Every structure is written in C-alpha cells, then in structure tokens.
Chains A and B, each alone.
Chain A
Amino acid sequence: MIFAQIFDTINNGLLVIDREMTVKYWNRWMAMHSGIAADEIVGTSLFSYFPELDQPHFRRNCKSVLQFGNFCYFSQRLHKYLFPMSAPGSLADSFDHMQQSCSMGPLRNKDNKVEMLYISVQDVTEVVSYQKKLVIMNHTDQLTGVYNRNYMEPHLVKEIERCRRYDHNMSLLMIDVDLFKIINDNYGHPCGDYALKTICERITSNIRKSDSLIRYGGDEFCIIMPETSEKDAYKVAETIRKSISDHPFTFADMTFNTTISIGVATLDQSTDDVESMLKKADEALYSAKQSGRNSVT
C-alpha cells in the first residue's frame, strides 16, 4: 500500500520492465512527462514507444542487470537523456529535452533470481543549466564577451593534441593593439573599453566559427585556428589587420584610428606543444612590433 503510493507520488520517473523488455509498471511521473498513460504502455514493449532506446549500449546494460544483478548508470554527461521529454517550464527555452540522469537495477523473485529490472529517471535539467552558465561565465571575458585566459590553456592543449593525432594543420595568432595606452590616456577609459569591444567585433566577423578568439591580457588577444595552414593564417591575419587600420573608430563625438600587430605561429615539428606555440607566436608578435607596428609576422 505505502510503497504503491510512493511509486506514484515520488518526484522521479520509475518504470519496471521484464526480461523481454515488456513494460510492467509505469509511474505517474513517467505518464505525466512522457504523455503516455500507464494503461497504454504497460504490457507492450518499451521499444515500441521508445525505438531510440533499442541500441547495443542500452541492451548491453539491461543484460548485465538481468544476468549479473548489476546496477547501471546512464549519465547525463554522455546521454543527455534516455526518454525524450520536454524540459520543465522556462528551461524549455534553452533545452530541447529534459536532461536526465538514469539508473537501472535488478528486481528479484522469491528465489533470488533476477526477474525484472527497474529504471529510475531523474530530471537534472536545472542543475545542467547552472553548470552551463558557470562554465560560460568562467570562460568569458566580462568586457568583450570573447573567451578569457581560463578557457585558452586547456582548449589549446586539446586542439594541439587533436591536430597532432590526425596530422592536421593548426595556427595561432597573437594580437596586440598598438599604443593602446595612448587611446586610454587621450580619450579616457570608457573609450578604451569601446575600442577593445569594437576590435573584438571586427575580428570575430573575419574568423570562422571554429576559430576561437581569446582576450589574453589587457590589450592582447589570441586566436586559435584549427585546420589552418601558415599561409591561410597569414591571409586571415592580414584581413584582420586591415579591418582595424582601414576603418576609423567613433566613440561619442571622438573619431580616431588605431592599428594592431599580429604574430603567427603554426604547428610543426619544432613547435608541438602549448609552450613552444605561444613562444613562437610571441616572438613573431615582437618582431612585428619591431618592424614598425601595424603588421603581420
């Protein structure tokens, strides 16, 4: 009696299936969120309502529960969800489906033999939503909205490893705004901030989605460009350089020009880790500065 009530009132999806994958029990939470009533689905195959579950991975885990009395877990990280349902309330705006953390375990008969298995479904959409926000905040530069340095190091490590593994090209641009201090000094800090924002906008409109723009320091930026040869990186760098130098900046009633210098580094035998990549790009940037600024090296 009590357990039957808990089954139907608990704030969790619960269902029971037998060895043939026939649904035996389906609690109200499942009915409410799936739109499938218990008397519709009970007695039919789980796969007839959820064909996308009929995969080696899911079957393998079911078998391990039925064969060994094992407990299995379907993490939100990998699966996002097992049962497609809509995300609750306003979270539906940012998630196509309710994010779920599911587990399954054995149900034994009087002789201790595993006869059925249960699946429990927990709605973790809200938690995932917070996680996403935190990750974004942690990776975003407040002022310009581009990536920050926290994001750079691990991302660069991963990209370098990936490109080396598949023997792909990869380039890195190091960018510095020429004489940025003068903008701040002459027109004030709000204007400096505006310049940085505008520079980011212009750069963003000249790179691909797969490239990542990072604010590396005060007026220093960095672009990670996967699948990009030295020649192509140089071309992009030139376009970016011109997009800054060829169009004046207007803030309040002030109009001014500024330029940037860019150092290019490409993955090769001698530069094959984060440190050597950054070092090479830094050196290139330094010589761009030496050669009179507003240039690409």
Chain B
Amino acid sequence: MLKSLLIVDDSPVARMIIKKCLPAEHGLQIYEAGNGQEGVEQYRTHNPDLTLMDLTMPIMNGFEAVEHIRGLDPEAVIIVSTADIQEKVIQRVKDLGALYTMKKPPSKKSLTEALERGAEAFAQVQK
C-alpha cells in the first residue's frame, strides 16, 4: 500500500487535476512541488512512496529531476506525466529510471492505474 505521493508540476492546475482524479478514499499523504528542483528537495525531505513528475518545468525540468532523485535513491518510484508522449521521450525517461510515462491530461482511469503500478513497484523495492 502506498502511503505518500509527491506531485511535481509547475502548473497549479495540473496538480489540482491530478488530485481530483485520485480515487475518493486514497488516504495518501500528498506533497507538491512547482518545479524539478523543489521536487528533489521535497523528495529528500519526505521520501514519498510514489512521485508523479511533469517534464516541462522552469528552473529544473523533469528529466533532470528524475535523474537527481534516482541518484539520491536508486529505488525511487517515479511516473512521468507528459502530453508529449513520443517514443523517444518515453525511452529517455525509462533510461533515467522512471517506471513509465502516462499521458496528459490524466483521467480517473490513468491515475488509478498509476497508483496500482506504483504500489506494485514500491512493494517490489520494499522486499
């Protein structure tokens, strides 16, 4: 079971949409960050079970943030959320150690899937 979720996105609306799409009784502790750098700091402080990461952000973009976080914690479970889901982007994100890429905008369905797959991966690394 996931206990905490970090949402990294420069758009407050995007973060709001993600929260709205979460299942009703998720019971997650939610942390938010408005750019990659803040995301890395939040990760360091709270060590969330799952991180949802936007790619295009000012100051530090999502690619760099994934790399940093995976550097801090090679077992960090990160799902990237982007509208530009080109094959190339998906591959690059995967190479950096993210679990997978979900398409923007999210939906109830895609977030339920993210939580399930995130929980699965998190359980794996716990073992």
Direct contact of A and B (CB under 8 A): no
Partner-B contacts on A (CB < 8 A): none
Partner-A contacts on B (CB < 8 A): none
